[in-house]
Amino acid sequence: MAPRKQQEIFDATLWMVAEKGYDGLTVEGVAERSGVNKTTIYRWWPSKAALLGAALVESDVLGFETPDTGSFRGDLVALVEQIVRLLTEPPGSDIAVTALAAAVRHPELDARRFFADRFARERVIFERAARRGELSASADPLLIVDLLAGAVWIRAVFRGLPLPEGYAEKAVSVLLDGL
Amino acid sequence: MAPRKQQEIFDATLWMVAEKGYDGLTVEGVAERSGVNKTTIYRWWPSKAALLGAALVESDVLGFETPDTGSFRGDLVALVEQIVRLLTEPPGSDIAVTALAAAVRHPELDARRFFADRFARERVIFERAARRGELSASADPLLIVDLLAGAVWIRAVFRGLPLPEGYAEKAVSVLLDGL
């Protein structure tokens, strides 16, 4: 399939999830919106869960740029700010929050792939910090990413609380400087 | 309603969510299992979301004991271990993960109340630590709880990775000792 057509199918999938929720997402609806035959979509992705899982990783909409600010602290703050935007700024946040919550009950949706793909790019922050001597050899990058991303998820999604000015700096400071 | 009857209704609600997911939860099913008339349930809780929200907070099944180990570090480690059990040991984990994920799309379910109720009890850990001089005045208890609980959620639920031996100690050490 042409990459541009594929991107249109992914866009239609993510738009439909943001609008109608996971239960409202249908391959028929995606086919209609993207002008692609339903059977063509099924040939590439065997279920709506598989389609949404692929769209999450491959669409430009939730694109992730590895921050490169020149310091470990700056990179982590920029990382948290990206996660805050991902989980609080529509329409991206409607897509991300709905799809990730749905993945809990629909393993075919494969949120693991989304997280693994992101982590492959987040990891670069830690490799650079280690080369600059800003990170001890015993530091666990996956744990650090999970602490920061998890705090944003709990506060923004589960508690429904706003993320105050300076939140990213404060969260990163707890990790870098200790309590 | 008699507290014991109410507890039976909550038990039936949580059992049904764990078995059938949020979409499979019905007030009819809860009524049948708990031997209570459907209209009685609706008189107390206007929707299945409201019923599940109340059950999450008030049932004994997801009960939360504030740890009291004698040290701030010990209390935080025990807190993380409780969260790990809540999110990884069935049947409690099926209930908690399914209900919290469903709350994202069903605000009437009111996960905020579940988290606020837990935080009221978690807060005691920080008050004790402050009295013992183990916690600086600028520390933010809500941020600390969100970092720790969030890390467990991302790893166990979204990444589907096991929580290795010593995970709680390691996560707490990042916060208390810095990177």
CATH at residue B93: 1.10.357.10
A115 found inside a domain: yes
Return the pLDDT at A63: 77
Return the pLDDT at A3: 87
Q: Do B105 and A98 touch (CB under 8 A)?
A: yes
Q: Does the pLDDT at position B53 exceed 90?
A: yes
pLDDT digits (tens, 9 = 90+) for B85-102: 999 999 889 999 999 998
Return the pLDDT at B27: 96
Q: What is the mean pLDDT of residues A15-36?
A: 93
| Chain B residue with Cα closest to A103 | B158
Q: Do A179 and B174 touch (CB under 8 A)?
A: no
Q: Does the pLDDT at position A175 exceed 90?
A: yes
User: Does one domain contain both B95 and B170?
Assistant: yes
Return the pLDDT at A8: 94
User: Does one domain contain both A111 and A27?
Assistant: no
What's A12's domain CATH number? 1.10.10.60
As a whole number, the mean pLDDT across chain B is 93
Query: Exposed, middle or buried by CB within 10 Å (0-12, 13-18, 19+), for A43?
Result: exposed
The band of A23, judged by pLDDT with boundaries at 50, 70 and 90, is confident
ipTM: 0.93
Return the pLDDT at B132: 95
A118 found inside a domain: yes
Its domain, for residue B173, covers 72-177
User: Does one domain contain both B111 and B171?
Assistant: yes
Return the pLDDT at A41: 96
Contacts of A155 in chain B (CB under 8 A): 142, 146
User: Does one domain contain both A38 and A89?
Assistant: no
Q: Does the pLDDT at position B153 exceed 80?
A: yes
Contact A83, A62 (CB under 8 A): no
User: Does one domain contain both A111 and A48?
Assistant: no
Q: Do A154 and B149 touch (CB under 8 A)?
A: yes
Instruction: State the Cα–Cα distance between residues A162 and B107, nearest whole angstrom.
Output: 16
> What value, to the nearest 5°, has the Cα angle with vertex B84 and ends A142 and B7?
150
Return the pLDDT at A53: 93
Instruction: Dump the DSSP string for A115-145.
Output: HHHHHHHHHHHHHHHHHTT-S-TT--HHHHH
pLDDT digits (tens, 9 = 90+) for A35-71: 999 999 999 999 999 999 999 998 877 878 899 999 9
Q: Does the pLDDT at position A107 exceed 90?
A: no
User: Does one domain contain both A98 and A41?
Assistant: no
B160 found inside a domain: yes
The band of B131, judged by pLDDT with boundaries at 50, 70 and 90, is very high
B65 found inside a domain: no
B31 found inside a domain: yes
Q: Do B98 and A116 touch (CB under 8 A)?
A: no
Side chain identity at residue B174, one-letter code? V
User: Does one domain contain both A76 and A163?
Assistant: yes
Q: What is the mean pLDDT of residues B144-163?
A: 97
The band of A165, judged by pLDDT with boundaries at 50, 70 and 90, is very high
> What value, to the nearest 5°, has the Cα angle with vertex B100 and ends B161 and A25?
90
Q: What is the mean pLDDT of residues A138-154?
A: 97
Q: Does the pLDDT at position B138 exceed 90?
A: no
Q: Does the pLDDT at position B62 exceed 90?
A: no
User: Does one domain contain both B77 and B53?
Assistant: no
User: Does one domain contain both A17 and A78?
Assistant: no
The band of B105, judged by pLDDT with boundaries at 50, 70 and 90, is confident
- Residues from A contacting B (CB-CB < 8 Å) are 21-23, 97-98, 100-105, 111-112, 115-116, 135-136, 139-140, 142-144, 146-155, 157-160, 170-171, 174-179
Q: Please give the tally of structural domains in chain B.
A: 2
User: Does one domain contain both B99 and B139?
Assistant: yes
Contacts of A49 in chain B (CB under 8 A): none
B109 found inside a domain: yes
User: Does one domain contain both B112 and B48?
Assistant: no
A27 found inside a domain: yes
User: Does one domain contain both B152 and B93?
Assistant: yes
A64 found inside a domain: no
> What value, to the nearest 5°, has the Cα angle with vertex B53 and ends B151 and B30?
125
